[in-house]
Chain A
Amino acid sequence: MFFHIVLERNMQLHPRHFGPNLRDKLVAKLMKDVEGTCSGRHGFVVAITGVDNIGKGLIRDGTGFVTFPVKYQCVVFRPFKGEILEAVVTMVNKMGFFAEAGPVQIFVSNHLIPDDMEFQSGDMPNYTTSDGSVKIQKDSEVRLKIIGTRVDATEIFCIGTIKDDFLGVINDPGAAA
């Protein structure tokens, strides 16, 4: 799920950036530092949409770096248990398959794949129904449901299932090709 929230961060700026463009430099560094990172608490920071407030800088003893408290708005993405996501399959093996929904890695183990889908090994390992009408392989797009998340300080990992109503392949590039 996406959220638009306000976060705060203490930015350390090298003294060489001090000058007329200090603010721009600060924002650029904020984007570079924050976007694409993941915090266990808020999820993945997708984009910074604005800087609300930059507080008074504090000069560090010894280094000369200055610390600015910065309040900024950003869009974050945080997966939840029970959430339905659309994801792209990145890898298929006999244990199941891996997929990505943006920055989130999801593993679907083979017992959470419908029973009528069999694993086919080979050049392009895949799961296929007995009549061959549905196939899951690398780059397939699937809709899945998250049944569990593990949130570390810097990483979120999800377990998903496609063994439920309206889940499964939504677009098969192999079929189109």
Chain B
Amino acid sequence: MSVEPFNRLVKLAARAFYDDITMKGDNQPKTGRSDNRGMAVVILDALTRRQWVREEDLAKDLKLHSKQLRRTLRFFEEEKLVTRDHRRETAKGAKIFSAAVAATSDGQQTGKEGEEKQKMHTHSYCCLDYAQIYDVVRYRLHRMKKKLKDELEDRNTVQEYICPDCGRRYNAFDAMRLVSPNDEYFHCENCNAELVAESDKLAAEEMGDGDDNARRRKREKLRDMLQKMEVQLKPLMDQLARVKDLPVPEFGSLQAWEARANAAGRAANGDSGANDSSKSSQGQGYGGTPMPFLGETRVEVALSGVEVKEEDSKPDAASTSMKVLPPWMIKQGMNLTKEQRGEVKQEPKVDHNSTPSGLSDDKKSKVNDKEDEKDIQDAYIQAYYAAFIKRQQEQEAEKKKQQELENASNAPNDISSDRKVGMKSKRQEDERDDDVEWEEAPTTGTSETHKLNDLNVQADASGDDEDDIDWEEG
């Protein structure tokens, strides 16, 4: 169960319906300063990041006057978005709640301990009621749409009737009196003519005196409004649809939540004193959407953060910069940057190597002994790979020639896979102790490359590298 889609729903609803709501006192004049539009949205947003929260704490976090906050929350309670709970409690009771908050989120403990020892205070708590919000928003949209549609379709208007002869108007309330005993129609009291319904007449004539124009304008306006509503509230409706089949996050009543959160906190901490609120002091505030009873991972931030930071940043940097490919992975025709080929990195190293050796500074060489060794190794490897690649190229060229020859003579089905074969064989050679192999190769015959390639081609035909070796040894 994820609270995120529901939070998004709350945020969308807040912006759709409560964006321009002002909360003002009964006797407060409406001035520029007291204009607090948008506050409702801020408060709802803040509530999406919390579960149960003491209203004083929330006010402090939002830097709002608690009276102002309470007024808004009362409004939200009436709007059925928020559940509230009030209870008289001593400082100890407040501490239990603080411990619960601490258990859920390493939350800041705002209340000071020690003071107000035995005094009873009424504290108010509030929490979003997601299940109800879902219903309320849906109902609200439904009512909006229905009202507009009803008006558009004249659903709730009282039908009017008009006498075509004398123009006298009647409405449906007169209907009882108008029914004639002779037939089933309404008749004019005045001239006994048959009455016609007003809308029928409108449809028939479509003349358009002032009254009709006004009606048409109103109709257009309604249709426009309905359309606008569809467009502007689409994100909200989409979110409703998305949330439809998701389980609703349920925090339960304040007491139940508190007990649960404390239990979860105790389990997570492994300590017995769940009411010990000292733990919370190291927290940095409310983090994300705490869901303690869902087994959220607790993140402990060490305050000697330098080391952690370095450790963190290193692999990060390594992963972001391009990796240097090992030389054996680099093939001809690969589109690589210099960094990837490792050329840039190796260049300065060689320089660094050459200067001290040129100076033959004992001290320096001693200090850099190990490093020098490594540099030499690097240089050797580089040289080796350079030679190796050259060899590869030579071989490739040779093989091509050979294959062309073979191609001309026979076995056209071998060609298709020749490239692969060549590479494979090279790697094989690479894996072997090459010196011996290479030395041996000339002894077997004068046209060493020729033969080797020949063997490889055959090995490919049989499709097995192992065979290749057997052949050679045999």
- Contact surface of A with B, Cβ cutoff 8 Å: 91-96, 98, 105, 107, 109-112, 121, 125, 147-148, 150, 157, 159, 161, 163-164
Contact = CB atoms under 8 A, between A and B. Distances in A.
Contact of B179 (A93, A148, A161): A93
Contacts of A98: 175-176, 179
Contact of A112 (B159, B176, B186): B159
B252 to A, nearest CB: 34
A159 B173 contact: yes
A150 B173 contact: yes
B156 interface: yes
A162 B144 CA distance: 20
Interface string B153-185: 011111101000000000011011001000011
B184 A148 contact: no
5 contacts: A91-B184, A111-B154, A147-B158, A148-B156, A159-B173
B172 A107 contact: yes
A147 B153 CA distance: 14
B197 interface: yes
Contact of A159 (B158, B161, B197): B158
A92 B185 CA distance: 10
B173 A148 contact: yes
In the complex, the 3 A-B pairs of residues with the closest C-beta atoms, listed nearest first: A93-B184, A109-B159, A150-B173
Contacts of B284: none
Contacts of B197: 95, 109-111
Contact of B155 (A95, A105, A161): A161
B192 interface: no
Contacts of B161: 95
A111 B175 CA distance: 14
Nearest to A163: B155
A91 B159 contact: no
B127 to A, nearest CB: 34
B199 interface: yes
Contacts of B158: 147-148, 159
A105 B174 CA distance: 12
Given A109-B159, A109-B197, A95 B186 contact: yes
Contacts of B175: 95-96, 98, 107, 109
Contacts of A163: 155
B155 A125 contact: no
A128 to B, nearest CB: 16
